[in-house]
Chains A and B, each alone.
Chain A
Amino acid sequence: MSESHPPSTDHAGHDSPEAIKQHVKVYLLIGAALLLGTGLTVGAYYVHIASVPVTIAVALCIATVKASLVAAYFMHLISEKKMIYVLLCFTAFFFLGLMGLTVWAMQDYPVLPGK
């Protein structure tokens, strides 16, 4: 196999070999940050925070930051076309709606005697 093929240029400028070389450093940094985030999540678990809601909030906050890094840099959402953003806005609307309904449904649990 030869290595002399021309690279794709669908995002002219952003996807040039020179630009990609710069991106590689960012990818490695993001990868390191993700591994560090995993360490932090586990570290927070062993710290034993007394409040359960705070523990959940800390773990989900770290997970959200990690997921945002993956989406923004590895999935290139930081510099994507408008159509993808529109599509994701619809997805976010329905996803948040689903979670909203879930939280709403939680209010319907009967209060058992002694609780």
Chain B
Amino acid sequence: MDTAIPYTVEPRRETGLYNAKVGIWLFLASEVMLFGALFSSYVLLRVGNDAWPHGLLNIPIGTFNTAVLITSSITVVMAWASLKMSQFHQARLYLAATVLCSLMFLGIKSYEYRAKFIHYEVRLTDGKVMTGHAEANGHTAFLTLAKLQKMKVDKFEFHPDATHDAAHSEPLLLETSKIEQLECYGPWHHTYFAIYFTLTGLHGLHVCGGMFVFLYLLVPGVKMWQTDPRRYTNRIEIAGLFWHFVDLVWIFLFPVLYLL
């Protein structure tokens, strides 16, 4: 009995395509609806919100990250084209560049996330509201009023954000007893951050998944090139289709979250 999986290379007569290609497009169709639902949520949340924040994300960093992801899309398609031309070593280099780009994208995104977790809005008992960076007992991230009270911190250092009047504000020593609320720019801070972390987090998981697939195809899965090069090339094409979709989603996420 032949146990080989059919139509991994040869196209199926009914569809004119090899099976994995039909499979990945069906999967991508479901992904369109997944991200579509989240974009729809974004629109409704934004329209229903009176004060939508602007300028809270670092645009130069976001732009650079977009360029990194676009570059990775180019390297993926070049890897596939190289395999089609039987230039195996070149294809491996392009795949390695893709993995490097995905790592860079995730690294930059992590840096952006951290910047939000160490950035605070503090509301004082006299009604004054300030934004900036806080430090208490060497801790800079995820500080809250309850945490400060638990750590028995009476005073902590606060570096207010630069204003239009002053490029550099002097650090302040704030008394914990005079704080009404201390909250970092996490998903709980504002609807904007909730949707920002949800959308970019889900996208980041996709980048992570794609990176592992490429790592597999680059290291242990590469043996297939010796035994079945056409199937290996098709695997790169399938992984590439997923990767381009991830890039395509980011093309919309970037202006929607960073610029509008």
Q: Does B25 contact A (CB under 8 A)?
A: yes
Min CB gap A12→B, angstroms: 10
B137 neighbours in A (Cβ, 8 Å)? none
A83 neighbours in B (Cβ, 8 Å)? 15-17, 22
Q: A59-B260, A63-B255, A106-B43 are in contact. Are A7 and B29 (CB under 8 A)?
A: no
Whether B47 contacts A67 by the Cβ 8 Å rule is no
Whether A20 contacts B230 by the Cβ 8 Å rule is no
Q: For the complex, give the distance between the alpha carbons of A23 and B21 in Å.
A: 20
Whether A42 contacts B9 by the Cβ 8 Å rule is no
Whether A5 contacts B244 by the Cβ 8 Å rule is no
Per the CB 8 Å criterion, the residue count for chain B at the interface is: 61
Q: For the complex, give the distance between the alpha carbons of A9 and B11 in Å.
A: 10
Whether B10 contacts A17 by the Cβ 8 Å rule is no
Within 8 A of B (CB), among A1-37: 1-10, 15, 17, 20-21, 23-24, 27-28, 31, 34-35
Enumerate chain B interface residues (CB-CB to A < 8 A).
Answer: 9-11, 15-18, 21-22, 25-26, 29, 32-33, 36-37, 39-40, 43-44, 47-48, 59, 63, 66-67, 70-71, 73-74, 76-78, 81, 83-89, 222, 225-226, 229-230, 233-234, 240-241, 244-245, 247-248, 251-252, 254-256, 259-260
List 9 A-B pairs, minimum CB-CB distance, nearest first: A5-B229, A31-B74, A59-B255, A8-B230, A91-B29, A102-B40, A45-B259, A81-B16, A20-B84
CB-defined A-B contacts under 8 Å, sample of 6: A8-B233, A17-B85, A20-B84, A38-B66, A70-B247, A109-B47
